[in-house]
Chains A and B, each alone.
Chain A
């Protein structure tokens, strides 16, 4: 029995609408319609057996000019592990300076794929530490004189 399935190709902005004709288990692709290029077939086959997506997110940086560094998986990850992978990234800290392309994590959740920085984050220089002002903020409950001592 041939099963028909429609999916969007997400490889490029063209966003081809693919029509897949596969076997009953939806694992073997017999015929493909709608792909404007060869990458469409590759995508469709993978989508049937092992759908993958590139993970892009951010990781916290200590001592950096910015609080976060943007990261990506070096290759697409199995789609189903993305949510857990992003949750896991929340616990990670990296130290500035960070170089673009630097490996932040060698293996994302045993998938054998590294997490790499997609930008550089310099260390915060001393002269860039903003001047601190003497202001006491205690939430927004003001129950005493609001006048500032000058």
Chain B
């Protein structure tokens, strides 16, 4: 007999994890189903890491409302979840005379959406904030912030877990059958029963809905590529800088984001593609990203690229059509018991908790939810060694032998932090899971020095066989086994 849950959330992205976590506030048996070996492996970990203020979406749209709401509560959520957050503000810059009206339109749109702290800045004001920036003026948004979207997603999942939810990784739902009032969900040989399904499958939301019998949606993957710059470049920029958006661009345009971790991101491009799996980068786009970044900040010329990646937006409008389609959050018209979230692209990260609350309202309409008195919204996390002042570093090292060894040189990550990452409550034990949690392997050597040390820890201390060590799960093996 399959295990029973009141709600099965499909998709372990920021939105799915936020839904699972918020559902834990109520007396419900909740399971989160994720097809990959860890949460946050899709678009949630492949974006600009920006907490948007909400001036990019049309007034009255769900996206605009939830974005403004999400932005207002993001700092508090990050405090609660022990996730890095910085209220960086943001500049949308005019580079040509025709950009000025665009800024004015964005300002008006933002004001209509209720976005606080918006102002049109003169070139001089913009330069006072970012001395290396050469613009014809800018829209300043004081409420925009930055986070680490992967850690945010992981934190939501861990908090859901701590509050009683289950998280099933490596569970790609491949069949959904009706069973009485509810459903049986299958992934290969494994299955479970759930009364409700919340479809937060992002790029695969249309397919998951179709598995359950609702063929109302179609998702179009739209790829965005990024370049990651070495930390040396961080001194050049402290505020995210966007170009004034041009019509017909399926995104916000190539922008520069100084991350909470000290790198600068360049991107994303916007390119509709056929495959939902192709997160590959391309030579042409890499070149173009670099050119566009140079246009925004010529001072970047001397900086070095350390990595490139791509993410896929889940668009619900095909290429060549209008630029905006609103988030869809609704009860399925075809399948009772199914709630669909479709077309949740940017600003989905910012809006993740408001989206979750909206799902809860939809559920509450159908069954009265009962609050769980012992819900614990806070997540504890040890501070990173690299951010400790000398005195506390000394104390940390004195107290713990595993804090006396640096495993990752570029990002100053201790053995203790690797152990903590490996010991994560989700049980994600691939190298990328360690990378997301500890920042080991993300620096300028990209794991050249530390990957083997992480591998050694996995083998020595966790008894993981060499054949089972992987980047993302079993198919992404690192070793065929012992050499001799």
Contact = CB atoms under 8 A, between A and B. Distances in A.
| Chains A and B touch each other in the complex, with CB atoms below 8 Å apart | yes
Interface of A: 58-60, 68, 89-90, 130-133, 135, 137, 139-143, 145-148
B132 to A, nearest CB: 46
Contact of A140 (B419, B461, B462, B474): B474
Contact of B169 (A58, A59, A137, A142): A142
Interface of B: 37, 161, 166-171, 190, 419, 422-423, 425-427, 429-430, 460-464, 468, 470, 473-474, 483-484
B461 A130 contact: yes
Contact of A146 (B419, B427, B468): B427
A41 B369 CA distance: 90
Shortest Cβ-Cβ A-B pairs, 7 listed: A146-B427, A90-B484, A143-B190, A140-B474, A145-B166, A130-B460, A135-B462
B37 A140 contact: yes
B473 A146 contact: no
B423 A135 contact: yes
Contacts of A145: 166
Nearest to B462: A135
A148 B483 CA distance: 33
Nearest to B472: A140
Given A140-B473, A146-B425, A146-B427, A135 B463 contact: yes
A141 B427 CA distance: 10
A58 B484 CA distance: 9
28 contacts: A58-B483, A59-B484, A68-B484, A90-B484, A130-B461, A132-B461, A133-B419, A133-B423, A133-B462, A135-B423, A135-B463, A137-B429, A137-B464, A137-B468, A140-B37, A140-B429, A140-B473, A140-B474, A141-B170, A142-B168, A142-B427, A143-B171, A145-B166, A146-B161, A146-B168, A146-B426, A148-B423, A148-B427
A137 B464 CA distance: 7
A147 B422 CA distance: 14
A141 B188 CA distance: 11
Contacts of A141: 170
A140 B167 contact: no
A137 B463 contact: yes
Contacts of B190: 143
Contacts of B419: 133
A139 B474 contact: yes
A147 B429 contact: no
A130 B463 CA distance: 11
A133 B427 contact: no
B430 A131 contact: no
A117 B430 CA distance: 35
Contacts of B473: 140
A146 B166 contact: yes
Contacts of A142: 168-171, 427
A136 to B, nearest CB: 9
Nearest to A137: B464
Contacts of B464: 137
A148 B169 CA distance: 14
A130 B166 CA distance: 31
A140 B460 contact: no
A137 B430 contact: no
B426 A140 contact: no
Contacts of B170: 140-142
A130 to B, nearest CB: 5
Contact of B166 (A89, A135, A147): A147
A146 B429 CA distance: 12
Contacts of A132: 461, 463
Contacts of B474: 139-140
Contacts of A130: 460-461
A148 B37 CA distance: 17
A136 B255 CA distance: 44
B242 to A, nearest CB: 39
Contacts of B463: 132, 135, 137
B484 A60 contact: yes
Nearest to A138: B468
A81 to B, nearest CB: 18
A143 B168 contact: yes
A104 to B, nearest CB: 13
A89 B473 CA distance: 32
A3 to B, nearest CB: 41
